[in-house]
Chain A
Amino acid sequence: MTDNEHEIEQPDERKPKRVIGTPAPGTSMLGAAEPEAADQDVPGVTLQDEAKARKAEKIVALCFAITFLAGIAFIISYVYFQVGSPDATGTSNLALGSSLTVAILALAIGIVVWTRQIMPKYALVQERHTMTSDEEDREVVADTFLRGANESGFVKRKLLRRTLLLAAAPLGLIPVVLLRDLDNNKMPGADFHKELRHTVWGQKNKEGKPLRLVVEGTGQPIRAADFNSPGGILSVVPEGYEHDLTALAKATLILIKFRPEEIKDGTNRNWTHDGIVAYSKICTHVGCPAALYEQNTHHILCPCHQSTFDAADGAKVIFGPAARPLPQLPITVDAEGYLVAQGDFKVPVGPSYWERGDAEAEAGMKGGQA
């Protein structure tokens, strides 16, 4: 720019492209002089050209008028469109939502045009000061602090200081103590985990007989002879607990029908009946119902984190983050041929917890699921 002896012409359209990451060029990058603001009263405040501002005013007014109309349209839509069925609600949602969106959007656009085309352009400068206070102020504060501390006697009077601390200690505990009854059972804390070791399958029904397995959703008990298609699966809940969510969170089963020759040694055959095997549906990872069953591979897949279990082989883990097989429930049939539980699971179902211990090894010693 200094000694451009070749006198190169710079046509406007030859301006180089903007360099990414740099501010939008207010001026030409070729170093052309900044246009002088005509009516500049204050440095840093560039007033807009009046003709352009007048044009912009019309645009802004149009935007605000659209907002007005759309706002009215919203109120009319509210009165006119009723809700109820998905169809009616859909229409209402569309009418209300689009009128609201248009109203707000037009208002936003109007204001932006207003700031950009009517308000002046600003490049005002303001001084910053370091956040640190003056040394003098800091000294004054320090002195004031010391003086107050001494005047209060807090420093000198040991007894006062110590009893105050003593007094504060239980007060701080009260909010914690008050939360104790969050647990509705109010059982000793050390017994919490024992609840997790049992499910309702260990209980008897009103007649003192073992609980029947019933189909989730219909509540029908299952005759073993009816569940006779190999590759079949059922989601099963305990009789009498069909709507007890807390019981279901541990007791829900998947019932799978195999051809007897498909069952491998991982499964405890004494706990099956005629190729029918019952596993806990609650994943041993974090407790989602693991229920995606592929009848051709015998895989049970949990949809939450994709733990995969081999249903033919004692539901042992073959993929994913679950560390333990799905517990198998011992089942048999009652006198009428309906499937019933022989008793409770031999190991805790669902996700692991600190007090669980290696329950599989313990149960294995007593002849449980391998």
Chain B
Amino acid sequence: MSDLKAVPKAIAGPSNFLDERLGGANALKRNLRKIFPDHWSFLLGEIALYSFVILLLTGTFLTLWFKPSMMEIAYDGSYAPLKGVMMSEAYASSLEISFDVRGGLLIRQMHHWAALLFVAGMMVHMLRVFFTGAYRKPREINWIIGILLLTLALAEGLTGYSLPDDLLSGAGLRITEGVAISLPIVGTYITFFLFGGEYPGEDVISRFYSLHILLIPGILLALVTAHMVLMWVQKHTQMPGKGRTNKNVVGAPFYPAFMAKAGAYFLFTLAVVAGLATFAQINPIWLFGPYTPADISAGSQPDWYMGFLEGSLRLMPPWEINLFGTAQAGTLPLSVIIPALLPLGIIMTGLALYPFLERWVTGDNREHHVADRPRNNPHRTSIGMSAITFYGVLWLLGANDEIAANFHISLNWTTYAGRVLIFVAPALAYLITYRVCLGLQRSDQAIISHGVESGVIKRLPHGEFIEVHTPPSEDIEAHMRGKEAVPMLPVAEDPSGIPPKGMRGPVGKLRGRMSKAYGGEKIPLDDGHGHGHEEEHAAIGTGSGSGDDDRSITH
């Protein structure tokens, strides 16, 4: 078939109708060929976006049968081992979806798998943005929106996890209550209002239900929209490379290429969710039984994204303070408050403030549209890895009973190890990452100044063997040369030894010192030019070759 020469009538008619009323052509003119840079890691956020779409669709399906009621009834469905057992309507209707609605189990499992991927997708996307410095000006607002989205996703997950009212979800709810009631002064008020009286009461499922299907998803949807609009307006960052600058964006147009790619990626996400729901059983509520606050199962765990909170609760030594002795006030259960609030607070606040702290330390107020390679800002990367390790230790400890049971390690020792690792491991991660970053920078430097080892051994006229180095391709070189020094404040003291303005008080001095450590070029790319040839070639060389000869080959 030949190419189209004119817009077909079927499309021209309706679009004409719309344009006469909405005037969309102007916006489309500018946006249809909007350029999107290509890099695989730029798609990670879409995992979360598409999981969210899947969650909305499957969730709507589930609401058609789910009954958010805690009324006690005797089960009369298909699942034989629970016949006649007293349970809440919420649990009975979840069983109905699983066993008495065709495709119900599939959709329920898809909903749960999509929820796990939703949060996981957000996290990998956030890590990509963090490590490439894509949160920098002008994208700080979008970064904050992202943090809000992550927080809301955790709340959405927690409320959803509780809805089926099975024994496992009830354990999670009980822990939520135990944490809420431990808060100083407001604790009892919060729990009594949340549960409509004493735990568990008869209201919490329906209250969580309206939060889970209406309020939180509504806010999520609004924030997701804002997140997308800002991304669209500010244009995506790009990795450094040939012809890519802070003033342009290089890539494929939205229509048709990026549109198709994004559509395909949505389908991939859906396929992975459907595949998992087909072949991997998730949340088998019929095995758990109905909730009662009197029972608990071994291995009661939250979904993975709450695991770090579970771990921090497990790690804590038994501290509790009664400020006023036997008086009926002033009890501070530190063994609940600290682990429930501190890690979450450190991680979330740290994330939210990082762009601003970095700007304060580096004094960098420029716009950035070219992403950093993680190695090129070693302190940022180390801080990130350190935070990942902190989170990872807590997360691992959240599963310490399963680790102990399945690998036959003493449960108590996993806790003791965790109490040490939570302090030691992040520090180690920092040091190791920093060294690795510098090492990678050096290898970049070597490639820029010596070229790439070609694997070709050459014998020189005077008998020396050398390996021929060839210069890197333009693409690679441009990618590496996209590096720029981490900005630094003007910290140098003037001749009379007085530091510059704004760096005189204790805070100012600290700022200056941090800036000096954080900023600057650690391994300049062009440094070492012409050095080190001898060492490199010595391994193959037979005699002491002259550096000039080498240079003539490699450059």
A contact residues vs B (CB 8 Å cutoff): 1-6, 8, 10, 14, 16, 19, 21-23, 25-31, 78, 81-86, 89, 92-94, 96-98, 100-101, 104-105, 107-109, 111-112, 114-115, 119-120, 122-128, 130-131, 179, 182-185, 189, 192-193, 195-196, 216, 235, 237, 243, 245-246, 248-250, 252, 281-282, 285-289, 291-292, 303-307, 317, 319-324, 350-359, 361-362
| A residues in contact with B182, CB < 8 Å | 286, 351-353
Cβ–Cβ contact A31 & B470, under 8 A: yes
Determine whether B452 belongs to the interface, using a CB cutoff of 8 Å to chain A. Answer: yes
Of the candidates B249, B261, B271, the one whose C-beta lies within 8 Å of that of A128 is B249
Tell me the B157-193 residues at the A interface (CB within 8 Å). 171, 174-175, 177-179, 181-189, 192-193
| A residues in contact with B235, CB < 8 Å | 126, 128
Q: Count of B residues near A, CB < 8 Å? A: 139
Determine whether B542 belongs to the interface, using a CB cutoff of 8 Å to chain A. Answer: no
Which of B18-26, B122-130, B297-305, B508-516 lies at the binding interface? B297-305
Known: A100-B274, A124-B35. A2 touches B555 (CB 8 A): yes
Cβ–Cβ contact B179 & A286, under 8 A: yes
Complex-state Cα separation, A288 to B267, whole angstroms: 41
- Closest A residue to B374 by beta carbon equals A21
Cβ–Cβ contact A5 & B261, under 8 A: no
Cβ–Cβ contact B175 & A354, under 8 A: no
Cβ–Cβ contact A285 & B336, under 8 A: yes
Of the candidates A14, A306, A323, the one whose C-beta lies within 8 Å of that of B335 is A323
Cβ–Cβ contact A354 & B412, under 8 A: no
Cβ–Cβ contact B264 & A195, under 8 A: no
Complex-state Cα separation, A94 to B106, whole angstroms: 9
| B residues in contact with A85, CB < 8 Å | 78-80, 99
B contact residues vs A (CB 8 Å cutoff): 33-35, 39, 72, 78-80, 86, 98-106, 109, 138, 171, 174-175, 177-179, 181-189, 192-194, 196-201, 203, 234-235, 239, 241, 243, 246-253, 256-257, 260-261, 263-265, 267-268, 270-271, 274-275, 277-279, 286, 291-300, 310, 313-320, 322, 324-333, 335-336, 339, 367, 369, 373, 375, 400-401, 411-412, 415, 440, 443, 447, 452-456, 458, 468, 470-476, 479-480, 552-553, 555
Known: A122-B257, A237-B294. A104 touches B300 (CB 8 A): no
Residue from the set B294, B295, B322 with the largest chain A CB neighbour count within 10 Å: B294
| B residues in contact with A237, CB < 8 Å | 294
Cβ–Cβ contact A291 & B296, under 8 A: yes
Cβ–Cβ contact A4 & B476, under 8 A: no
Known: A115-B260, A304-B296. A354 touches B184 (CB 8 A): yes
| A residues in contact with B296, CB < 8 Å | 288-289, 291, 303-304
Cβ–Cβ contact A287 & B200, under 8 A: no
Cβ–Cβ contact A114 & B455, under 8 A: no
- Closest A residue to B266 by beta carbon equals A108
Known: A248-B292, A286-B174. A128 touches B106 (CB 8 A): no
